[in-house]
């Protein structure tokens, strides 16, 4: 399919998929329920100019459910280097063949062996955490961090129950900017005090979460969950 694209539209990068073996910067974005509920959009872009690439460097896939359960409509769009093409008459039958090959490739991609297992892993890859109640104000952070970065409030509170864990001094957490509390930031600071570097996210599948929610990788959370609860 890539070689036929190069033959019809010019360029050489499609002969080996990537036009260079050197490390290449690429951008990828996945959005669910966009542009409409039930849709899934995947976009990718490669900085081809820096590496002398002359083939397709941008692509967009829009997957949309149909009226038949389990059947989806996929639209694939690619950006080629030439803004205008003058295609000879002999090429038109091959362009039709190219469209059929593209359809076969997409069908194989979405139904290839092991894809069901990958989708199941994807559905369980992240977990969304939430704080249910903060009636007494923002939660506390250990004030005796090794680097002192967690000390947000000069008023330190002594909590006797924390002495067994080595955290007897606590302070109020203050949010960033106008937002008084953000669970993603709080959890990062809290786990840093515990000696763990935890990646937290304020978005899930391209959708922003409310301030009292955050997403983390399930494996990362299972690794620190017991210590966090203690």
The first and second tokens of residue 191, run together, are 């786990």
Q: What are phi and psi of 226, to 5 degrees?
A: -65, -45
Contact 112, 204 (CB under 8 A): no
Query: Strand, helix or coil at 171?
Result: strand
Other beta carbons within 10 Å of 156: 13
pLDDT, residue 48, reads 60
pLDDT, residue 165, reads 79
pLDDT mean across residues, the chain? 81
- The more confident residue out of 1 and 96 is 96
Looking at the predicted structure, is the pLDDT value of residue 163 above 90? no
Give domain limits for the chain: 23-112, 125-228
pTM, 2 dp: 0.65
């Amino acid at each position: 399919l890539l070689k036929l694209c190069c033959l019809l539209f010019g360029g050489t990068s499609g002969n080996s998929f990537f036009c260079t073996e050197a490390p290449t910067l690429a951008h990828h974005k996945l959005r669910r329920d966009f542009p409409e509920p039930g849709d899934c959009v995947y976009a990718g872009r490669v900085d081809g100019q820096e590496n002398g690439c002359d083939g397709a460097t941008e692509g967009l896939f829009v997957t949309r459910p149909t009226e038949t359960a389990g059947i989806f409509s996929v639209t694939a769009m690619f950006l080629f280097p030439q803004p205008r093409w003058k295609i000879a008459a002999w090429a038109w039958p091959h362009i039709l063949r190219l469209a059929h090959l593209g359809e076969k490739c997409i069908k194989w991609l979405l139904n290839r062996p092991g894809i069901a297992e990958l989708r199941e892993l994807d559905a369980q890859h992240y977990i969304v955490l939430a704080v249910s109640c903060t009636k007494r104000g923002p939660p506390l952070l250990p004030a005796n961090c090794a680097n002192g970065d967690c000390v947000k409030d000069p008023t330190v509170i002594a909590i006797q129950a924390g002495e067994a864990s080595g955290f007897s001094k606590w302070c109020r957490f203050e949010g960033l900017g106008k937002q008084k509390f953000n669970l993603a930031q709080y959890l990062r600071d809290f786990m840093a005090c515990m000696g763990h570097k935890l990646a937290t996210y304020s978005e899930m599948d391209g959708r922003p979460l409310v301030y009292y929610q955050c997403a983390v990788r399930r494996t990362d959370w299972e690794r620190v969950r017991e210590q966090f609860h203690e």
